[in-house]
Structure 1
């Protein structure tokens, strides 16, 4: 991926981790395809396994990770905690939880934000865009 002079000129990349294709479709639909009005389209990187999410996160170039806490075998909460502890300057993580009562687990996982099921498209879009904007404002986007 090429580095541009202005972080707002670069296409933003979202890493989406879920083993459920319907969850991935719902998230992409809710967040939308464009980062900001008149901006570059978002780049989606979808993965469905633990090895794939960790490997892709290690490569870098991710502006936001959306992790499904209900993924089988390696849920997004544990993966989030691992990535936050292992990746220097880890990008923000939006965690999809099983229910509103799981907010404390999202906190334990070190997630930057959480959206419970059933997924509310407006809440999901608001949370994702807020984290993307904060990343740009912090100058972390390269």
Structure 2
């Protein structure tokens, strides 16, 4: 049986993505890399930009987010620690993709319980493929 998150993503025709970074330029890069649709067979993307960790936690806890992309290089709260906190504390936490500082940090993303990791600098193809893979788990 699909969870509430799966039902919302597949029935609404769009996916709501929370994009967290303290750096507005990084948030812009993420949105630009993904655009409004990562694949013709997947729902349209809408975004919620967040610059602080407390807002991330309260928004995720409130529901309505289908996927979170967290900047592992954000300060003062990095995306990997935030991912771990969300997975430990929020029931029905949506899938999380963490942007790591370098490819070798993928093990830290795994520790944080993030479902995916892509390294900086943001590669639109790698990010799009990772997001598409996560979205397929939501809509199927």
Q: Same fold (TM over 0.5)?
A: yes
Following superposition, which runs of at least 4 residues in structure 1 exceed 6 angstroms of deviation? none
Corresponding position of 2:78: 75
| Secondary structure of residue in 1 paired with 2:99 | strand
Q: 2:100 aligns with which of 86, 92, 97?
A: 97
Aligned positions of 1:52-71 closer than 5 A:
52-71=55-74
Matched, 1:113 2:116: yes
Corresponding position of 2:22: 19
Corresponding position of 1:44: 47
Distance 2:8 2:59 in 1: 24
Count of paired positions: 134
Q: 1:84 aligns with which of 78, 87, 91?
A: 87
> Normalized per residue, which structure has more helix?
2
Unmatched segments (≥5 aa) in structure 1: 138-142
Distance 1:29 1:59 in 2: 26
Aligned residues: CA RMSD = 2.0
Unmatched segments (≥5 aa) in structure 2: 1-6
Distance 1:120 1:63 in 2: 22
Q: 2:13 touches 2:44 (CA, 8 Å); kept in 1?
A: no
Distance 1:91 1:58 in 2: 10
Deviation at 1:40, TM superposition (A): 5.2
Deviation at 1:110, TM superposition (A): 0.5
Matched, 1:124 2:127: yes
**Cα distance 1:35–1:63, how it changes in 2: closer, same or farther (>3 A)?**
farther
